[in-house]
Structure 1
Amino acid sequence: MSFELRDHTADVAVAAEGGTLGETFAAVADGLAAAICDEAPEGGDRYPVGVHGEGREALLLDYLDDLIYQGDIESVLPVGNEAEVFFRGEWILRGSFRGVPLSRVDVRELKAVTYSELSLDRTDDGFEAYVLFDV
């Protein structure tokens, strides 16, 4: 499971990969945190996350939107993301993140997750994703 930040005009993109959909989603979420903050300290409580979606791509964006929302509400940076993705009549994600208090980190504003250039593809080794964030 890994991610890479990529510059994109006035935005930031995350390219991520993982052996499973859950690992790939968690890697994108870790990339989201890296786009917001250069380095997150250890510590912080674990927070649960659960999202439903009509499709895999919609689930990924809803998951990232939920992390941004929970981070704003709880005043934490969501790091150390873990996710499991499965299909039961609809796509479902269950997971958690470690919330580092925003008072302990220097953060950049991230406005939104976008559908622009979004990709989520199966590979020989699992899955890869590309997500663009509006900063």
Structure 2
Amino acid sequence: MSFELRDHTADVAVEATADSLGAAFAAVADGMAAAMCDEIPGSGERFEFTERAENREALLYDYLDRLIYERDVRGVLPVANDATVREADGEWVIEASARGVPLDEVDARDLKAVTYSEMDLSERADGTWHAYVVFDV
């Protein structure tokens, strides 16, 4: 699993590849954290959550939006993300966890929101997953 930050006009984009869909989601989330903070300390407690959506792209959006919500409401930077994605009963489900580093322990830049702009979530011919997400800064 890997990610790269990409310049995108006034925004920032994260491009990720991984061997599974859940790992691709987690890699984008790790890229989002890297876009907000250069150095991440080892502190913080893990937290878990589940999200559901009608399709994979909506699930990726809702997952990343939930991490931004956790940052804003709980005052933590979600890092070391882990995710499992599956389809169940006609909807897509993610079971995720992250380590929440207290914001007062990092020098974090603001990242306002995840967008659908240019979003790509696709399985490649070799079975790996590709994700590209633009964030409003």
Per the normalisation by structure 2, the TM-score is 0.96
**Cα deviations by residue, 1:40-84 (Å, 9 ceiling, x for unpaired):** 111210011211011000000000000000111110000000000
The one-letter code sitting in structure 2 at the alignment partner of 1:130 is Y
Tell me how far 1:125 sits from its aligned partner.
3.8
Q: Given that residues 49 and 97 in structure 1 are in contact (C-alpha distance below 8 angstroms), is that contact kept between their aligned partners in structure 2?
A: no
* Distance across 2 between alignment mates of 1:90 and 1:43: 34
* Distance across 2 between alignment mates of 1:125 and 1:27: 16
The one-letter code sitting in structure 1 at the alignment partner of 2:43 is G
Structure 1: any 5+ residue segments left out of the alignment? none
Question: Counterpart of 1:47 in 2: which secondary structure?
Answer: strand
Q: Return structure 1 stretches of 4+ with deviation > 6 angstroms.
A: none
* Distance across 2 between alignment mates of 1:96 and 1:71: 14
**Cα deviations by residue, 1:62-120 (Å, 9 ceiling, x for unpaired):** 00000000111110000000000000020000010000000000011111101100000
The one-letter code sitting in structure 1 at the alignment partner of 2:103 is L
Decide which structure has greater strand share.
1
Per the normalisation by structure 1, the TM-score is 0.98
Partner of 2:133: 131
Q: CA RMSD in A?
A: 0.7
* Distance across 2 between alignment mates of 1:114 and 1:98: 23
Structure 2: any 5+ residue segments left out of the alignment? none
* Distance across 1 between alignment mates of 2:70 and 2:99: 11
Partner of 2:108: 107
- Map 1:45-60 to 2 at 5 A: 45-60=45-60
* Distance across 2 between alignment mates of 1:45 and 1:111: 23
Count of aligned pairs between the two proteins: 135
The yes-or-no answer on 1:119 pairing with 2:120 is: yes
* Distance across 2 between alignment mates of 1:11 and 1:41: 25
* Distance across 2 between alignment mates of 1:111 and 1:103: 18
- Map 1:79-118 to 2 at 5 A: 79-88=79-88, 89-118=90-119
Q: Given that residues 86 and 92 in structure 1 are in contact (C-alpha distance below 8 angstroms), is that contact kept between their aligned partners in structure 2?
A: yes
